[in-house]
Amino acid sequence: MSNPAIDAAFADEPAFIPYLAAGDPSYEASLEYVEALARGGADIIELGLPFSEPIAEGSTIQNAIVRSLQGGMTVGRYFEFVTDLDVDVPVVCMTYYNLIYQYGDESGPEPFVRKAKSVGIDGFVVPDLPAEEADPLREACDRHGLDLVFIVAPTTDDERLDRLVSLSSGYLYIQARLGVTGARDDVSNETTSSLDRLADYDIPKAVGFGIKTGEHARDIIAGGADGIIVGSALVDIIAEGTETDSPTEEPAAELESLCQELKAGALEGAQ
Amino acid sequence: MSNPAIDAAFADEPAFIPYLAAGDPSYEASLEYVEALARGGADIIELGLPFSEPIAEGSTIQNAIVRSLQGGMTVGRYFEFVTDLDVDVPVVCMTYYNLIYQYGDESGPEPFVRKAKSVGIDGFVVPDLPAEEADPLREACDRHGLDLVFIVAPTTDDERLDRLVSLSSGYLYIQARLGVTGARDDVSNETTSSLDRLADYDIPKAVGFGIKTGEHARDIIAGGADGIIVGSALVDIIAEGTETDSPTEEPAAELESLCQELKAGALEGAQ
Amino acid sequence: MPETDTTFGDYGGQYVPEALMPAIEELTDAYERYVLANEDGFMDEFRERIHDFGGRPTPLQRADNLSERYDRDIYLKREDLLHGGAHKLNNALGQVLLAKYMGKERIIAETGAGQHGTATAMAAAHLDMPCEIYMGRRDVNRQRPNVFRMRINGAEVNPVDIGRGTLKEAISETMRDWATTVENTHYVIGSIVGPAPFPAMVRDFHRIISEETRRQTREQYGRLPDSVVACAGGGSNTMGIFADFTSDSPFSTAPDSNTDADEDVSLFAVEAGGSSLDVDEERGVAPNSASLSTGSEGVLHGARTKLLQNTDGQIMESHSVSSGLDYAGVGPELAKLVDDDRVTPVNVDDDAALEAFHRFSQEEGIIPALETAHAFAFLETDADLGEFVVVNVSGRGDKDLEAALEETAKRDLPNAPTMEVFDE
Amino acid sequence: MPETDTTFGDYGGQYVPEALMPAIEELTDAYERYVLANEDGFMDEFRERIHDFGGRPTPLQRADNLSERYDRDIYLKREDLLHGGAHKLNNALGQVLLAKYMGKERIIAETGAGQHGTATAMAAAHLDMPCEIYMGRRDVNRQRPNVFRMRINGAEVNPVDIGRGTLKEAISETMRDWATTVENTHYVIGSIVGPAPFPAMVRDFHRIISEETRRQTREQYGRLPDSVVACAGGGSNTMGIFADFTSDSPFSTAPDSNTDADEDVSLFAVEAGGSSLDVDEERGVAPNSASLSTGSEGVLHGARTKLLQNTDGQIMESHSVSSGLDYAGVGPELAKLVDDDRVTPVNVDDDAALEAFHRFSQEEGIIPALETAHAFAFLETDADLGEFVVVNVSGRGDKDLEAALEETAKRDLPNAPTMEVFDE
Ligand SMILES: Cc1ncc(COP(=O)(O)O)c(C=O)c1O
Ligand SMILES: Cc1ncc(COP(=O)(O)O)c(C=O)c1O
């Protein structure tokens, strides 16, 4: 049982999945930036809800999270943000488990998922929630028809892989290399071997961690992936914008054009 | 068996025994200062040979010792100093045992005592040499006819007293109070009780530690002492001279006049 | 094969990235084999090394002057005498040795005040393992002597420039390193926190404190104590001395507990009350570190536990005059024991801790760590501690001299020593 | 009644002002009764307190990495784990307790680097005695952390402004205080120096090191060591570990020494070679503290011993990178044992000591005092130490971090750690 909007994103061609932290560096600017992703060809948007202890993120996204929190982002504002967002692609909420767990009066993830559903969120990626701890959230997602995407790491063995595939809905997030998020200059060999291992599983596979250029995108899709996830390379544009005090339009335009490049690379890889 | 010059100093009237560190602050000035003591009425002069670790001295005399050592005083220079000294009273060398022990090629105090004798020294006071360790020096002094003066402290009990009296020659140095050398504003009660204890011993008793004025001198002699020893009050005059850069004559004159006052006090006490 | 406590009631668990899960499974397996089942004589070697290298057993000492002051028998469990100056070595040595048994080639750890970092650096040098320590930039500058010690023992020190530059950031950063290097690297966590099996494993390395305390109280006093008092940051010295007095300890059902029921031993966990128990939700700051007393359930650094958070679930900045207590979370097992009413959480504020620091130093001739001073401050309580009290002296205060004097100078403490000896 | 060793061959004696002699007689009497004859159970109480408060026995630990380096079994006697961080407490606690038995009401002591001062302050606080410590002005400023420790433990610290403001001046000044206050005050001297009965008494309080070492070497290695290595300033840690291996020890004729002759145990006293063994007679400066190796017989601070002096007999300024070895004299008993060829005096220079400081820290995870580092530097020797060597780890290096790094920065040592972590 998975979310049809997300299924659709993988239906015909490879899915391009950009990530940004909501509210980075401000609510208003961030709205424009996220909308630029859609214009640039996003098939799904992973929209980060910032948590104060982002243990899976490299410094680029950590800094984005700091900027967003300092800009006043809260869980309540995040839901408003999604409501205000004028895009036509499915939105996956990427956050850490404590924020999901704390929301609302009842204990457990149910209230958060209910609320997410009501503002139009289609699924979740929760980097600090391994299969072992996922049952309550998985159940809440099932109740509301949202996807829960699990991450497969280079260290994941076959036994765990089976379990992750069976728990995951929407797509699998293939972590391209060990470590934390962050843009790199090459594509890891581990990616290819991960994709090979997964070839027989019937679920879309999106590769993330370190993708930066159209060329990367092309190679990864050519290697068998169904989608690419790009975060830090995009966040870099926003970070630069804040440093040079650029007006919002400039980074937005750059974001859009990098998205186009990535998307084009992905399409090329699929040929 | 004691030195006749020292015996003579106690013969008729109370003995006035001033102390200075030889070479303080310079060889030349010190010669004049010591000669001023004689002019002021000294009956015996206790002439300090500076040692680098003067554990029995208070800060006044410690500083004198530092000045003297910095002025180039050595054991060899000290003996020259005594030779050069133009005074007509017996000289007692006051120093610490290591300097006596190290002198000359043979081990032990013999060479030092022999040399002291040859330059005209009449006796010794060695504050870090208790009865327990005194035999070698006592014997050398006996061989050369020099006095060895022991210090009696307020803490000395009757048994030790007997022993000190039997070892001492020339006179006994009665330490007026516990502690180290240094001028004080009053005369200690302990002095009187020490003198009482000693009344029956047939050896001259000179009181030292803290005497500063003619009045002190008078009271002490009146209390039964045969002599007074004054150091820090005189050294203070030299110290002041070095601080105010006075020409040598000024402290010399002051020394002479303080000696006169002390001597007069002593004589008064004896009446 | 004995099994790991992965949860303590609702607390605990393994909230970590998938990339780390295989390492955590491997660690769990190694913990069960080597620590719980003493495979290859691991625990024998650990005990021998913590004895010869660490200086165990540490004494249980009667504090004569404090006993008189409080009119009770106050005994001190002297973890301050352990090599490195705190209980921390029990855990650091245990984990580095385990890493060696597991064939790991590199050690990483986080540190706040530098005590866990120095203990880990010492253990790594002793066992000839390369070692890197993450430490917030602010802590690097505040805790120079401990940085010196780590460097002198041959460890790399990596300053963390993110955020406020303190312990919380250092832990997150060490997890990031681990996520990258997990195949050849072991992460030596510094307290009974983090994902399973860490809380149980760290407790088991510190359990020796309580094992000795049981034996020593019987030998020296003829019975178990009425109460045991320990400060609690993450809670490792705390669980270390409490472990064998709790009902799921192997010892509480052992023959030696027939004579006196372990439940009669009151257990007090003394947290840092900081400057106040009130929180500033707006700024995300709690001016204390009293997560057991005032925190709420949540997920931090891999485990579900009690923590200081705002209503959204964002972690708050904590505060304490003692950097070793300055942490927004606490060990999940302690959280459970508090819910079960087995452990009583109490707290004392910065002022009381500083006053106790001076009192204990002057009366007993032992300068305690500022963390430990919290435990002594609690002795001023009205609570009934019984006639026989054991206080865990978790560490010595040499690391805290400058900080303690600086904090003292800001206050008007009745028993503060003057420092005019430096004036001239 | 056993009698005091007042002399050791030609060395020793009581070269002090008459005012002090009665106190010295009283002390001698107390030493013979309480220490030698255990009157009123004094030694039992001492042993109990040095165990519970001090942390004895200290471990004998095999140094795995050094053993490999030197291809011998190197064992460490871990006095660094004693409360306060050095062997010093054995003596300080013994003397303060003795003062209490003697009915004294006040404790004074000198200190150089501050180790003896802190040990005395701790012992005095523990036994509830007022305490004043004399310390040269220069040392006060160089050794701030130890001044803090003394003040925090409630001791007064009296800076000595005379002369160069170091240990020599502090000892002289403490003797002056004692000469004034001798009736109610005990002077806790800091090494096996001074007038009798101090050298014998201080040795007897430290003798426990050698007693434990004999037992531990037999238990852990099956026999006595081939050599024992200790640094020597005044020589208290040195005689502490040598005592029961010398022929006038009660143990060298005890049944347990039948199996292996004590004379087969080589004893090495490692002095500070400073920057050079040459002296500058003119300026009265010896750039070392190697009084056993290069000194001559003389009288200093109450005893006849080997010392650094010029031909007149004026005491020279000594020098060492480690302030605890920086003293112009040495214990008279050691001087005698050197003349008897029972103890071999050796020395290592500042550079070698610093290199050993880093080597030992990196290889064994124990940061030694700079004094102790001299003993480790000597292990690089060509001399035949045999296959089983015990090194006395007289103290830990926490007190020396700043000094060691400062001195390291002046040199080009092959194994110095960098400190660029502070750079940004
Ligand atoms: C001496 C001491 N005590 C206590 C603590 C607090 O840690 P825990 O609560 O894990 O024992 C620390 C931490 O640095 C410490 O150094
Ligand atoms: C650690 C340590 N070792 C050795 C010494 C030297 O003293 P002794 O030669 O009396 O053992 C000192 C003196 O301060 C010291 O602190």
Question: What's the CATH code of the domain at A78?
Answer: 3.20.20.70
D417 DSSP 8-state letter: P
Give the number of the ligand closest to the Cα of residue C395: 1
Strand-pairing partners, residue D408, are none
Same domain? For D300 and D236 the reply is: yes
Same domain? For D166 and D246 the reply is: no
User: How high is the pLDDT of residue B194?
Assistant: 81
Closest C-alpha among C26, C184, C190, C181 to residue C92: C190
Do the domain assignments include residue D13?
no
The upper half-sphere exposure of residue B12, i.e. CA atoms within 13 Å in the direction of its Cβ, equals 2
The CA–CA distances, whole Å, from C248 to A29, A44, A201, C262, C343 equal 55, 49, 44, 11, 13
| H or E stretch covering B91 | strand B91-94
Do the domain assignments include residue D401?
yes
Of D186, D201, D216, the domain-final residue: D201
Q: What is the token pair recorded at C120?
A: 């880990």
Same domain? For C156 and C194 the reply is: yes
8 Å CB contact between D302 and D15: yes
Judged against a pLDDT cut of 80, whether residue D141 lies above it is answered with yes
Residues of C in contact with D59 (CB under 8 A): 51-53, 55
Domain that holds residue A252: 13-148+210-269
Domain that holds residue C127: 19-53+86-201
Question: Residue C42 is part of a domain; what is its CATH number?
Answer: 3.40.50.1100
Do the domain assignments include residue B69?
yes
Strand-pairing partners, residue C344, are C268
Q: What is the token pair recorded at A248?
A: 């919002």
Rounded distance, CA C39 to CA D315, Å? Answer: 63
Q: Which of B18-32, B95-109, C359-373, D249-263 has the lowest mean pLDDT?
A: D249-263
Judged against a pLDDT cut of 60, whether residue C259 lies above it is answered with no
Closest C-alpha among B21, B82, B27, B16 to residue B248: B27
Q: Contact partners of D by the rule of 3+ C-beta pairs under 8 A? A: B, C
Residues of D in contact with B163 (CB under 8 A): none
Same domain? For D226 and D299 the reply is: yes
Q: Give residue C257's identity as a one-letter amino acid code.
A: S
User: How high is the pLDDT of residue D143?
Assistant: 87
Sign of torsion, CA A223 A229 A231 A233? positive
Rounded distance, CA C348 to CA C270, Å? Answer: 7
Same domain? For C71 and C143 the reply is: no
Q: What is the token pair recorded at C155?
A: 């460890």
**Catalytic one among A32, A53, A57, A190?**
A57
Secondary structure class of D134 (helix, strand, coil):
strand
Of D173, D201, D229, the domain-final residue: D201
* Length of chain B as a residue count: 271
Contact partners, residue D153, CB within 8 Å, separation at least 6: C361, C362, C365, C367, D118, D121, D122, D124, D125
User: How high is the pLDDT of residue C280?
Assistant: 86
What is the rounded average pLDDT of the residues B151-164? Answer: 94
Sign of torsion, CA D44 D48 D53 D56? positive
What is the rounded average pLDDT of the residues C70-75? Answer: 98
Closest C-alpha among A193, A167, A187, A181 to residue A18: A181
Q: Do C182 and A99 touch (CB under 8 A)?
A: no
Low-confidence ranges of chain A (pLDDT < 70): 1, 183, 185-189
Is B175 an 8 Å CB contact of chain D?
A: yes
Residues of A in contact with C298 (CB under 8 A): 98, 101-102
Q: Do C364 and D125 touch (CB under 8 A)?
A: yes
Active-site annotation holds for A57: yes
Do the domain assignments include residue D9?
no
Secondary structure class of A258 (helix, strand, coil):
helix
Do the domain assignments include residue B87?
yes
8 Å CB contact between C133 and C108: yes
Q: How confident is the model at residue D411 (pLDDT cuts 50, 70, 90)?
A: very high
Rounded distance, CA B87 to CA B79, Å? Answer: 15
Sign of torsion, CA B94 B97 B98 B103? positive
Rounded distance, CA A207 to CA A222, Å? Answer: 12
Judged against a pLDDT cut of 60, whether residue D253 lies above it is answered with no
8 Å CB contact between C326 and C319: yes
Q: How confident is the model at residue C423 (pLDDT cuts 50, 70, 90)?
A: confident
**Tally of domains within chain B:** 1
Q: What is the token pair recorded at C74?
A: 């106050």
Q: What is the token pair recorded at C179?
A: 């996520």
Judged against a pLDDT cut of 50, whether residue C258 lies above it is answered with no
Do the bridges between strand D227-231 and strand D388-392 make them parallel or antiparallel, or are there none, so unpaired? Answer: parallel
Residues of D in contact with C140 (CB under 8 A): 421-422
What is the rounded average pLDDT of the residues D84-105? Answer: 98
8 Å CB contact between D193 and D199: yes
8 Å CB contact between C13 and C197: no
Nearest-by-CA chain D residue for B109 = D298
The CA–CA distances, whole Å, from B110 to B71, B120, B151 equal 28, 16, 21
Rounded distance, CA B230 to CA C41, Å? Answer: 79
Q: How confident is the model at residue C261 (pLDDT cuts 50, 70, 90)?
A: low
Do the domain assignments include residue B202?
no
Rounded distance, CA C253 to CA A33, Å? Answer: 63
Q: How confident is the model at residue C248 (pLDDT cuts 50, 70, 90)?
A: low
DSSP D346-379: EEEEHHHHHHHHHHHHHHHS--B-HHHHHHHHHT
Do the domain assignments include residue B177?
no
> Which pTM was predicted?
0.95
Give the number of the ligand closest to the Cα of residue D109: 2
Sign of torsion, CA C213 C214 C215 C216? positive
Q: How confident is the model at residue C221 (pLDDT cuts 50, 70, 90)?
A: very high
Secondary structure class of C285 (helix, strand, coil):
strand
Do the domain assignments include residue D301?
yes
Q: What percent of chain B is predicted at pLDDT more than 70? A: 97
Q: Contact partners of B by the rule of 3+ C-beta pairs under 8 A? A: D
Phi then psi dihedrals of residue D187, to 5 deg: -95, 115
Closest C-alpha among A115, A141, A145 to residue A129: A141
What mean pLDDT value characterizes chain C?
A: 94
Q: What share of chain A is helix, strand, coil (3-state, %, to 5)?
A: 50, 15, 35
Do the domain assignments include residue B205?
no
Judged against a pLDDT cut of 60, whether residue C234 lies above it is answered with yes
User: How high is the pLDDT of residue D258?
Assistant: 44
Do the domain assignments include residue C218?
yes
Active-site annotation holds for C169: no
D324 lines ligand 2 (CB under 6 A): yes
Same domain? For D104 and D236 the reply is: no
Q: Which of C166, C322, C398, C401 to mutate to test the pocket of ligand 1 (most atoms within 8 A of CB)?
A: C322
C35 DSSP 8-state letter: I
User: How high is the pLDDT of residue A179?
Assistant: 78
User: How high is the pLDDT of residue D249?
Assistant: 65
Closest C-alpha among B176, B221, B181, B207 to residue B48: B181
With b for 16 or more beta-carbon neighbours within 10 A and e for fewer, the A12-39 pattern comes to eebbbbbbbbbbbbbbebbbebbbbbbe
Do the domain assignments include residue B230?
yes
**Tally of domains within chain C:** 2
User: How high is the pLDDT of residue B187?
Assistant: 63
Q: Where on the phi/psi map is residue D89: left (φ > 0), alpha (ψ -120 to 50), or beta?
A: alpha
8 Å CB contact between D225 and D388: yes
8 Å CB contact between D15 and D211: no
Rounded distance, CA A205 to CA A174, Å? Answer: 6
Strand-pairing partners, residue A227, are A15, A206
Sign of torsion, CA D227 D231 D235 D238? negative
Peptide bond into A14 cis (omega under 30): no
Q: Which of C15, C297, C298 sits opposite A128 (nearest CB)?
A: C15
Judged against a pLDDT cut of 60, whether residue C251 lies above it is answered with no
What is the rounded average pLDDT of the residues B204-231? Answer: 94
Do the domain assignments include residue A180?
no
User: How high is the pLDDT of residue D259?
Assistant: 46
Of C175, C201, C227, the domain-final residue: C201
Same domain? For D78 and D48 the reply is: no
Closest C-alpha among D194, D171, D17, D329 to residue B134: D17
8 Å CB contact between C232 and C269: yes
Phi then psi dihedrals of residue D155, to 5 deg: -85, 150
Shortest alpha-carbon distance between residue C280 and chain D (Å): 32
Query: Token match 């009181």: residue?
Result: B207
Q: How many other C-beta atoms are found inside a 10 Å radius of the C-beta of residue D255? A: 7
Q: What is the token pair recorded at B204?
A: 């001259």
Nearest-by-CA chain C residue for D118 = C365
The CA–CA distances, whole Å, from D382 to D377, D378, D379, D393 equal 12, 9, 8, 21
Do the domain assignments include residue B181?
no
Q: Which of D58, D154, D367 sits opposite C149 (nearest CB)?
A: D367
The upper half-sphere exposure of residue C28, i.e. CA atoms within 13 Å in the direction of its Cβ, equals 17
User: How high is the pLDDT of residue C107?
Assistant: 98
What angle is formed at CA B204 by the lines to CA B201 and CA B207, rounded to 5 degrees? 105
Query: D touches B (3+ CB pairs < 8 Å)?
Result: yes
User: How high is the pLDDT of residue A110?
Assistant: 97
Do the domain assignments include residue C9?
no
Rounded distance, CA C82 to CA C93, Å? Answer: 12
Closest C-alpha among C379, C72, C75, C65 to residue C220: C75
pLDDT in tens, B227-258: 999 999 999 999 999 999 999 999 999 999 99
Rounded distance, CA A55 to CA C302, Å? Answer: 9
Judged against a pLDDT cut of 80, whether residue D168 lies above it is answered with yes
